[in-house]
Amino acid sequence: MNLKKVREQIDIIDSKILKLLNDRMILGILSKRFKTEIEDIEREKEILDRINSYTESLVNTEVYKRIFLEILTESKRLQKKNFKITAFQGEHGAYSDVAARKWLHESVTIPCVEFREVFEGVEKGYYDYGIVPVENTLGGVIGEVNDLLIKTKLKVVGAVNLKVEHCLLAIPGADHRELREVISHPQALTQCKSFIERNKLNPVSYYDTAGAARMIREKNLKQSTAIASKLAAELYDLEIIKENIADLGNNYTRFLILAREETKGKGDKCSIIFSTEHKAGTLFKVLEIFAKAGINLTRIESIPESPGSYAFFLDFIGSLEDETVKKCLDDIKPLTTKLKIMGNYPEITV
């Protein structure tokens, strides 16, 4: 142990404090959804009483009190700003988080462990929006999300095509010659396979790209790297050793923004989900109606609904206010056993 190593440990703790403080502010904003008043005298008293009872510390209790009073004051200030809350699957710094911040700059993003939690949270009103990936140019469709889209009553209110830019991240000041392994989500490791092999790094799978970045920072793994986003590097105070390390450059993920209420006439992209009878030519007849109407289809995906039965996810260019689109949807309705309008929305590419 020497001064340099002591300071490195202090830096790690400081980074954790900053991250935890930000996480606490986010949860404070979320707590507003479950109470009627921002001012909560009883809750504040409960927190301060807990601090008074905490005796196993070198820090004077009065110092703790001053710190927490500042935290409570800042939390109440942020709660008054009425931020929109967007939920995503993964950890802060994940590509879903990046896409959410690109779509709505003033939104507070909340991480969820599973996609199901994103859907349920929006449905119950805990979150204003949910953002979920539906397809990737290299990895294909995200089946779990499509399954949830079939069942949900939520509406699509926006879409983001995000260019996925994988970066190699490491602890600041780490000796690049001593780097031995790279940790990330299996899909990211696959997409950067040539780079990994060329640099003789041992790939280690992890549940999330941003989670891998957070882990190497918190454990101070100086011989490890992570593949994640630039945002993850910023959030977890990591050095970007190299940007854009994917084998192929044309790597985009398409995300859908979900909400309880639809947006009418505010975009030129529409999504529908429909099912047809299991008869030869039925799907062709549906698609033929779109073709004859001159409506450009941008995506069609079959989704298993039950054994031997499929639903179809269809995206097309147009507005639900347009008479041609209205007539087209009226014409296909008799050919379907189920027709659900998911939304009419704007789409951006970033």
- Catalytically active residues, by annotation: 253, 255
Closest CA to 5 of 176, 203, 252, 171: 171
From residue 286, how far is each of 309, 325, 331 by CA, in Å?
Answer: 17, 13, 8
Closest CA to 198 of 185, 221, 212, 182: 182
From residue 38, how far is each of 71, 107, 215, 285 by CA, in Å?
Answer: 14, 19, 34, 56
What CA–CA distance (Å, rounded) separates 236 from 217? 7
Closest CA to 33 of 154, 115, 128, 130: 128
Q: Are 261 and 343 in contact (CB under 8 A)?
A: no
Angle 196-202-207 from CA coordinates, rounded to 5°: 90
What CA–CA distance (Å, rounded) separates 308 from 339? 18
Would you say how long the chain is, in residues? 350
